[in-house]
Amino acid sequence: MIKKYLWMGLGFLSLGMAYIGVVVPGIPFSIFLVCAAYCFAKSSPRMHAWLYNHKHFGPFLTNWTQKSVFPTKGKYAMVLVMQIFEICVRLRIAAQCGCADASGCVWRARLRENNSTGTLRGGCSWVCTP
């Protein structure tokens, strides 16, 4: 009986993390959703059925269970969210750093430069200067 409640608690925790993972970039929803389905299969057939009949999570779980595939729309959404997150991070770094973006700063730091005597020397400092 205690095992059933532990599995159910872990299922609800995983389901909560899956909901958070849908909204927050960087936190995957899929692994938490599959974990929740597994936990509910061991503890609550009602919650397991609810999860498989869910409007958004149900088709993903069905595809995952039957074919072991990730939906195409999900892949595109994942790439879009990652790109938006990357743009936000680059804008944040640019605001703190004073340069166009972090990769540009690292790329510029690796370039050799010409000093006043006309001789080449190695890359400049790794610190972004405003």
**Helices and strands of the chain, counted as H and E runs:** 6, 2
pLDDT digits (tens, 9 = 90+) for 70-92: 777 777 777 787 788 778 777 77
pLDDT digits (tens, 9 = 90+) for 33-48: 989 999 999 999 999 9
The three state secondary structure string of 47-82 is HHHHHHCCCCHHHHHHHHHHHCCCCHHHHHHHHHHH
Q: Considering only residues 100 and 91, tell me which one the structure prediction assigns the higher pLDDT.
A: 91
Looking at residue 29, what DSSP letter applies? S
| pLDDT for the residue numbered 110 | 52
> Does residue 118 register a pLDDT over 80?
no
Query: In the numeric block, which tokens belong to residue 59?
Result: 């088709």
Task: Check: pTM over 0.85? Answer yes or no.
Answer: no
| pLDDT for the residue numbered 125 | 42
Check if the beta carbon of residue 115 is closer than 8 Å to that of residue 124.
no
Mean pLDDT of the chain: 75
